[in-house]
Structure 1
Amino acid sequence: MRLCTRNIHIQTNIDSALDSCTMSSIKLLSFPLLVFSEIVRSMEIMEILELSQVSRRMLNVLNLARISVETVHVVNGIVDKITIFNESCTERKFAIEFLKTPQPVVGQMKVNNISIDVCGKNTTQQIINCNSNQFGYGLVHVLTHMDKIFYRMEYSIGIELSTLNAMRGVLCHSIFRKCDYVQIRGRKETLSNEDCEYLLEKTQPTTGITIFSKLSPDFDYKKILHFSRLRVPNLGKMPLEDLKALDSEIANLGNHQFTESDINEFLHHWIEGNNRKLRRLKLDGFKDAPDWDALLKDISYTEWSSKEREKNYKSKYTHTEETIDCENGRDFMDKNGQLATVVYHSEFLDFLIWNDRFPE
């Protein structure tokens, strides 16, 4: 009963606080932290950001409120933008976009003790517009300021390889070491070992990496084999020994040089108990169905049976879940009885490991 009474009391305080905030925002800091926290958590991100600029005291109390957000996405190049999406990454909640075409300044945003010119704001769409010449200057200050507001904030960074030299000074800031995922863009560019090392050192991504650019002929693949999520559409001449050393959970590799005999050797390597973290290896670039006799040479396999596993395999790379039809797949086990399926679909070969053969 005491707990119930306390919850009712808290909710009453919150409702009263919200009414009071409507009447006069200057009373917001007079509420207990618990009530204050509930109020600000109900606000839009743009409102929270604007509130944080009122005073240092307000910024400090917002930090104590532990307002959580999903991963902050930072991209540069064709567009320069800071975006926060919802949990499923399907809907934008807030964005600061740095426009390539300069616009007249209509106001300022004070973050991290500096002012950034604002040339537009849309509260309905939750977008703040700034001019792109402030991106390099303002990015670190905006992220540092947001890091003081939001609790355990992480970053996903997409960087155009052609802008790397201009971004080196920015990426040196420690704020980027909270990076969760890095996407290296520029399909016409070539990623060198030196640039790859630099980006990984400055961002230190904890989960994964996508490399859309080409790789240099001497690229050291060992730098990227440990990421839980790995996507490289232009793999190039990756040695088979590096593929066998793969330590990812999900790897999506395209434009590779592997033959059916190479993949057969990899499958035997897995059957012997290696690549224990692996859950899915997707190999793009098969225009025709593989030579199954060569691919599954000396491997004891069976056709799909509904008694052994589900027809469909579900894979979640980051936020979006993908369903793979495995009805035409070939099933086999490793030496410990772990079931796997290899299946061919238009232009790609999928190697899938079943943690749960009959997921709900």
Structure 2
Amino acid sequence: MAISKLFFAYFHKNEKPFKMLCLPLLPLKNVINQMSFESVWRLSKTSRKMYEKIKNVKKSIYKIVIDNRFEYNIIYPRFKTRILRFEKKSDFVSVYNEMGTNKEITASVYLKFSVDFWIELFYKLDKRGPGKLRSSVYKLNHLKKRLKYLNRFDELFSIKHVDLVIDKYKLFGDSISHPLFQKCDYMEIVGNTSYISNNEMNFVLNNFKLKNGLLTNCLIAEDFDVTAMQQIPRLVIFNAQHITVEDLIKMDCETIKLCYHQFKPRHINQLLHHWLSGEMPKLRRFRLNFYCDTTWIGVVLSGIEHSKWDGQRRAKFFRDGIESIDCGNGFDIERNDGLLATFSSLEDSIDFVVWGNISAL
């Protein structure tokens, strides 16, 4: 490792990247992995041979977000693709936390949107973001340039996570034929004026391994088969008006978030009783946004033994990915098998989180 550091210092100081062509693969890999993304990107452009060398190294990147949708800008209305790069997990978390600590955004609003929504807002509020992160956004207005960048990312780097934000109508054509799109493990399907059909959803599930989740703000028809999505670990549906409690209890998701729904407190009570009976073993979080009320608590917890937060029993904050949910004012519910959960109400939203077995907390 010390030798590789000397190589790196020498080449960086003397700016002679062609010398690196003489390095065997292992020393070259050590040098490349210590270089910044920007340095590797520039180095790949010095020669075709250097490009091929870097292809064999495959420097690791935590995540890229491919935002491939129509974005309407009042000043410059146009379609554009953006690639947002996060070299380390800490880069990704810092963007999210930056928005979470924004004093202009209340907690209830903060929890109602997706992670990628906050990333987008962060970059729109340019002055609030660190410059090094702003330099990680690639705006690609032309198809040829987009393809070039996608190829470069795919060939030169080992990308741990690929998030795809895409218009529904672009899902079924050449726009997603690139290999990098096929590596997508989290997807946001947007288009709040268009319906997504059962066939279209089956296409998505058959062509993408969404191990990190799915969000859609498309309209859902009354005959839509929600249970087709029951194996998706993290499911967020904005237009959930036609989803019933009968649909929910069939779900095998870890996280379910629904907005614009038709649930009443009695339905949530039914769901909690279903969970208490030992069902929905994978569930870690259920959230309803909008059309909720703090007065629901009495009906929701009817017939369910519950208690207020005890700091000796569990933590105050529940971690869901990079989200932190304040459960200090929630009501704890313990299942017969020892699983501890908390029901919380915040303005017009409710949260039900499962901590795990109480003996392990």
C-alpha separation in 1, matches of 2:268 and 2:319: 21
Which residue does the alignment assign to 1:19? 13
Report the more deviating stretch, 256-265 or 41-50. 41-50
Which residue does the alignment assign to 1:33? 25
Using structure 2 for the length normalisation, give the TM-score.
0.77
Contact 2:308 2:331 in 1 (8 A): yes
**1:338 Cα deviation (Å)?**
0.9
Distance 1:40 1:11, change over 3 A: closer
Superposed, 1:1-360 pairs within 5 Å as 7-20=1-14, 22=15, 24-76=16-68, 77-78=70-71, 79-85=80-86, 86-88=88-90, 89=92, 90=94, 125=135, 130=140, 132=141, 134-135=142-143, 137-161=144-168, 163-164=169-170, 168-310=173-315, 312-317=316-321, 320-327=322-329, 329-355=330-356
**1:238 Cα deviation (Å)?**
0.8
C-alpha separation in 1, matches of 2:354 and 2:240: 22
Q: Which amino acid aligns with 2:343?
A: V
Q: Which amino acid aligns with 1:323?
A: I
Contact 1:326 1:341 in 2 (8 A): no
Q: Which amino acid aligns with 1:346?
A: E
Give structure 1 stretches of 5+ with no counterpart: 1-6, 93-121
C-alpha separation in 1, matches of 2:228 and 2:157: 31
Contact 2:84 2:136 in 1 (8 A): no
**1:69 Cα deviation (Å)?**
0.5
C-alpha separation in 2, matches of 1:280 and 1:186: 26
Distance 1:11 1:214, change over 3 A: same
**1:274 Cα deviation (Å)?**
1.3
C-alpha separation in 2, matches of 1:306 and 1:187: 42
Contact 1:331 1:341 in 2 (8 A): yes
Equivalent pairs counted in the alignment come to 314
- Residue deviations 1:17-68 (CA, integer Å, cap 9, x gap): 3334x1x322121123343223333444344234334444323321332300
C-alpha root-mean-square deviation of aligned residues, in Å? 2.9
Distance 1:87 1:292, change over 3 A: closer
Which residue does the alignment assign to 1:98? none
Distance 1:274 1:314, change over 3 A: same
Contact 1:280 1:350 in 2 (8 A): yes
C-alpha separation in 1, matches of 2:139 and 2:350: 43
Report the more deviating stretch, 9-18 or 278-287. 9-18
- Residue deviations 1:246-297 (CA, integer Å, cap 9, x gap): 2222221111122222211111111111111111111112442244343222
C-alpha separation in 2, matches of 1:10 and 1:49: 19
Give structure 2 stretches of 5+ with no counterpart: 72-79, 97-131
Q: Which amino acid aligns with 1:125?
A: S
Distance 1:206 1:305, change over 3 A: closer
Q: Which amino acid aligns with 1:190?
A: Y
Secondary structure (helix, strand or coil) at the match of 2:40 reads helix
Using structure 1 for the length normalisation, give the TM-score.
0.77
Contact 1:229 1:251 in 2 (8 A): yes
C-alpha separation in 2, matches of 1:129 and 1:243: 39
C-alpha separation in 2, matches of 1:235 and 1:124: 34
C-alpha separation in 2, matches of 1:59 and 1:259: 59
C-alpha separation in 1, matches of 2:222 and 2:195: 9
**1:187 Cα deviation (Å)?**
2.1
- Residue deviations 1:321-342 (CA, integer Å, cap 9, x gap): 3231332x22221120111111
C-alpha separation in 1, matches of 2:235 and 2:10: 50
C-alpha separation in 1, matches of 2:305 and 2:4: 64
Greater share of residues in helix: 2
**1:127 Cα deviation (Å)?**
5.7
| Percent pairwise identity | 24
C-alpha separation in 1, matches of 2:310 and 2:18: 67
Report the more deviating stretch, 24-33 or 333-342. 24-33
